[in-house]
Amino acid sequence: MSAAKAIMAGDRFGRWTVLEATESRTYPSGTTTHFHECRCDCGTVQFVGSYKLRIGHSRSCGCLQAEVTIARNLKHGHSKRGRRGKIYGIWRNIISRCKNPNVSSYEDYGARGITICERWLKFENFLEDMGEPPRGLTIDRLDNNLGYFKDNCAWRTPIDQARNRRNSVKITFDGLTMTLPEWAEHLGISYSMLRGRRERRWSVEKMLTEPKN
C-alpha cells in the first residue's frame, strides 16, 4: 500500500485551506498527531489534525455544519415572516450561537461548551418539544451551565431571564442585596427604567430612590 500523499500548503479540504505552519503533539499514551494550520473560507484560522483532514471529518471551522443544519430545515415553512416564523428564528439563533464561531454570541455559548441536543438539530423536534412561544416570552435555559435540551429550557419573560443570567449583577443598598430585576419588583419600578438609570451611571442611591416620574 502506498504512503498517503503529504499535506502541503495550499491544499484544500472542504472549506479549509492549509497554511504553512504545522506542529506535532504527543499524548501520554505515546501517540503523536500532526496538525496543520488552516484557514476556513469564512476567515477563521486554527490548527486541524491531519487525520481529520484526510478522512473528511473536519471540513470547516463549524460554520458549514451550522449552515447545512439551517438549510435542511427551510422546507418546513417556519422561515416565513409572521408569528409562525418567530419560533423558527429562535431555533436558528440557537443553532448559530452554539455551532457557528463567526457569530458574536458564539463566545458566550459554543466557545464555553454550551451545546444543542442532537434531537433539536431537527426543527420539527424543537417545535414539538417547546411549542410556539407565548407572546412576550423567549427561550431561556434553567441552568446556564448546561445546553439547550427540553428539560433545561422554558419560555420566560425578559425579566426572568435577566435574573437567571450567570453574570447577573447584585446591588446592595439599605441592607438589602438583590439583582436589578428583583430591585425593580421590590420598588415597583419598571425593569427597563431601572436598567436605563444604571446604564447612565447613576449612583446606587439615586438609581433606587429617584421617583418613577
Residue 60 pLDDT grade (very low, low, confident, very high; cuts 50, 70, 90) = confident
- Helix then strand then coil, % of the chain, to nearest 5: 40, 20, 35
Q: Which of 7, 136, 123 is nearest to 71 (CA)?
A: 123
Is the Cβ–Cβ distance between 173 and 205 less than 8 Å? yes
84 pLDDT above the threshold of 50:
no
73 pLDDT above the threshold of 80:
no
Between 57 and 19, where is the model more confident?
Answer: 19
Q: Is 129 helix (H, G, I), strand (E, B) or coil?
A: helix
C-alpha cell of residue 186: 421590590
Is the Cβ–Cβ distance between 126 and 148 less than 8 Å? no
Residues in a beta bridge with 49: 35
Which pLDDT score is estimated for 120? 93
**What is the enclosing helix (H) or strand (E) of 162?**
helix 158-164
Q: Are strands 16-26 and 12-13 parallel, antiparallel or unpaired?
A: antiparallel
Which pLDDT score is estimated for 159? 66
Q: Is the dihedral of CA 41, 45, 50, 51 positive or negative?
A: negative
Length of the chain, please?
A: 213
In this prediction the pTM is 0.48
Residue 83 pLDDT grade (very low, low, confident, very high; cuts 50, 70, 90) = very low
Which pLDDT score is estimated for 74? 57
Residue 179 pLDDT grade (very low, low, confident, very high; cuts 50, 70, 90) = confident
CA distance 157 to 168: 15
